[in-house]
Structure 1
Amino acid sequence: MVRLCHQLALECEELPRPFHRQVLVPGGHRVSLPYEFLVPCLCVEASYPHHDSPRRKHCPFRDQPATYGTELWSSVRFHDYSTSSKDQMAMVLSASCPLHPWATLCWREAADKTAPCHDIPNSTASEEEQAYTLDKVDVHPQLCFRFSYGNSSHVECPHHQETAWNVSMSTWGLQLRLRLTSSIPAAFSATLCQRRGGQCEPEAPLYTVTQVSGAGLGGHMGRGDRATLTCPCALQPEGSAPGELALLLPVQVLGSCVLVWRSDVRFARKQLLCPDSEWRSR
């Protein structure tokens, strides 16, 4: 009797349906056995058909670099439990092989899965029984986990496309006005930046707005809601709503853009807004 199985810590587990098959092979004959993914723990197990026959096992793919690539990650199911209300990235892995990859954060340039994902330093997630968590994160569909194992890696982003906060910008004469809305209590920072060689270099001063409750910033503030604004007083025009961050641009910096990010977390995306182009994220 011959079958394929996945070698776990103590046993060789049968393949899931419809690939769990045990075939009686006459001596000197060959047999073809189907499998779903070519993974390192895929083994061949053989035994005689009588009861309690000893089993012999061969795992030919364990040391093959090719089995640590695309098919390995395709065999993994990623369960996303990331929540903006907890400022936490959390994913649980279900895999055919007993994998324990390490996970770090990266920022994907665009929503496209083929877009580059830039590594974020010092962002290793903690792992316990294939559950990966990282706290103090501004959860966003493009702020992702990069899982690395063997000679390959895989990027998995939060499955929910909703974001906890948004920012819009309007131009009034020589004034740029930012309006922040957030569904969670948060603090935000903004600064002018100058575009140089594909980068936008931040410039002082730094402006900060803090929302204590979960109502929208710059909108109607209900009972118990509170927002504070930290910036030079001249830069908050008369009539601005509480929590609305407005920047007045001098004539010499009309070519400036604005960087906006959450400042009450450790890992946050930075949104780049430019008055002469569509806004984008860094």
Structure 2
Amino acid sequence: MVSTCRILSFTRASRQRMSGLQVEVENDCTVVSPSQQVKVTVKTVPSYCGITWTGTYEAPECISGDLQSHVPECITGRLSYDINPQRKELNVSVADMLEDHNYHLRLCHKDFICIGTGANTMIKKEELVKSTTLPYSRPLPCLCIEGWSAVMDAPRVQVCPFKDRLEELWFGINFDPLEGTLSWQPACPVTAAVVLCQEGEDGVCVDLPHASQNVSREKITFTKVDPHPQLCMKFTAGAQSWTRCPFSGTRFQAWEVVVTRGQGIEDVKMLSQITATFSVGLCEKSKGSAACQTTETHTIHVEKNKAVGLNMRGELCNSCLQVKRLDVEFAATVVHCLQQCNQSSQLRPVISSQPSWSLTWVVVPAGVCISGIIIVTVVLHVLLTVHQRRKQKRNGGCTFEKQTDPAFDCAVPVLQTKPILHGGVLVPDSPQYVYAERANLISD
């Protein structure tokens, strides 16, 4: 708002000579800055009938190459760079910087203003090589190199090496397992649409109903989300789309359908790490179509860490199970197809939600009991054998305990015949031997 005045005088002779002609006045002594607006007023002194002329002039911006090269207020310097992705570094060089002044360089995230990231340096005016290295963490599209001369209110220049790397924005998806909340906030301002979708076997992600939000800068949140590997988040910016599946591993998977096969029968169970309610439907896939037509549906409640058996009475041929969690707002519909069986023995499958007790709980206790019985039997046999041998030794090697005559404690054989060992007890060769031995003892 600073005003400057200049008075131009015309002599009488010149007025007579220029009478009726336009007069052009050149004023080259008023200092203006780039992009400054100037108001020019022309009037007569003294005032001639109150006649004045007023005009507005706007000085050109510094985008002109001529001004950038000659006007100090427009000299920003020219930046060039090389990217080292392995070391995550930017090698920056400066040319045409303002003479006799130092130069600032930094990395910043561009938004309404460029917010510094902490990586900055100064190039001294005495340095012959006007270059430096700036480290970066992520190649975001809003990450820019900013440079300016070390003077008051110096204009700044910015170059953004990764401005086309939009795919770097679709990271940083967070999930709160306690609240069941899926959230994401863009690291850079971007105009995009975010939708939850279910990824199929063909890699195509089908949008879930009522699961779309628009984003620019603010954080977006999806509540009551079932963490399943097939549940993904799709980002669309312009004509391009990117899909990210935060639950692709088994880290957050809350439930699963377990199928075991034995003797031509499939045992199907549901196991959940949380208490939840599911819709389980029987469906069949038609030839040439990926869609599964549901024939009947059942609602099943599963307690935390308690397996629930889907008892399939009979064989289920060419059929699948279509499972979806009901106690959340956003969930994937998962299809588990069972093994094909003999078409001649089809029976109507029945789904029940009775808890499935594993056969292990029956086999293991029975095995322990049988093993105990065997061990006790062996110990008793050993003890009985030892007892018989000790008793035999006390009787002096006598084999028979019961005699016809109680006066005799033992029957000693006269003839040396070889006895036969049966089960640890010595038995004479024949009954005749016993009788002969008894007769010899009586005669003595």
TM-score range, shorter chain: 0.5 to 0.7
Q: Which residue of 316, 330, 344 corresponds with 1:267?
A: 330
- TM-score of the pair, normalised by structure 2: 0.43
Relative distance call for 1:246 and 1:47 in structure 2 (3 A) is same
The answer for the alignment partner of 2:205 in structure 1 is: 117
The counterpart of 1:142, out of the listed 216, 222, 230, is 230
Determine the structure 2 residue equivalent to 1:226. Answer: none
Within the alignment, does 1:167 sit opposite 2:252 as a pair? no
Give yes or no for the alignment of 1:55 onto 2:143. Answer: no
- Please say if residues 197 and 206 of structure 2, whose CA atoms lie closer than 8 Å, have aligned partners that are also in contact: yes
Matched, 1:258 2:321: yes
Match of 1:239 in 2: none
Instruction: Say whether residues 1:202 and 2:301 are aligned partners.
Output: no
Residues paired across the two proteins, number = 234
Partner of 2:163, secondary structure, is helix
Select 2:163's aligned residue among 67, 76, 79. 67
SS of alignment partner, residue 119 of structure 1: strand
Match in the other structure for 2:280:
190
- Of 185, 198, 204, the match for 1:107: 198
Distance apart, 1:105 and its partner CA: 0.8
Helix, strand or coil at the partner of 1:163: coil
Q: How far did residue 272 of structure 1 move? A: 2.2
TM-score by length of 1: 0.64
| Cα 1:43–1:150 shift into 2, 3 Å | farther
Q: 1:73 to 1:25 in 2, by over 3 A?
A: farther
C-alpha separation in 2, matches of 1:117 and 1:59: 38
2:220 aligned partner? 132
The alpha-carbon distance between structure 1 residues 25 and 11, as it changes in their structure 2 partners (threshold 3 A), is farther
Identical-pair percentage: 22
Partner in structure 2 of residue 91 of structure 1: 183
Deviations 1:115-145 (A, max 9, x none): 5433333212587974332123211233122
Work out whether residues 126 and 134 of structure 1, in 8 Å CA contact, stay in contact via their aligned partners in 2. Answer: no
- In 2, the alpha carbon distance for the partners of 1:163 and 1:43 equals 39
Cα distance, 1:215 vs structure 2: 4.3
Task: Give the residue type in structure 2 aligned to 1:265.
Answer: V
Select between 265-274 and 120-129 the one with higher mean Cα deviation: 120-129
Bigger strand fraction: 1
Structure-2 separation of matches of 1:206 and 1:174? 24
Match of 1:82 in 2: 176
Q: Which residue of 2 aligns with 1:280?
A: none
Per-residue deviation, residues 30-73 of structure 1 (Å, max 9, x unmatched): 747656466443445333324xx213233455xx9x824xx344
* Change in 2 beyond 3 A, CA 1:32/1:158: same
2:120 alignment partner, one of 20, 43, 53: 20
Question: 1:203-282 to 2 correspondence within 5 Å?
Answer: 203-211=294-302, 213-218=303-308, 244-248=309-313, 254-276=317-339
Paired letter, 1:93: Q
Q: Check the 8 A contact 2:139/2:168 in 1, yes or no.
A: no
Unaligned runs of 5+ in 2: 1-102, 341-444
The answer to whether the 8 Å contact 1:109/1:115 transfers is: yes
Q: Which amino acid in the other structure matches residue 333 of structure 2?
A: K
Match status 1:6 vs 2:108: yes
Retained in 2: the 8 A contact 1:127–1:133?
no
Shift of 1:11: 3.5
Gaps of 5+ in 1: 219-243, 278-282
Q: Which has the larger radius of gyration?
A: 2
**Per the alignment, do residues 116 and 76 of structure 1 end up closer, same or farther by CA in structure 2, a change over 3 Å counting?**
closer
Distance in 2 (alpha carbons) for counterparts of 1:200 and 1:162: 27
Q: Counterpart of 1:78 in 2: which secondary structure? A: coil
- Two-structure CA RMSD over aligned residues (Å): 3.9
Higher relative contact order (CA 8 A, sep 6+): 1
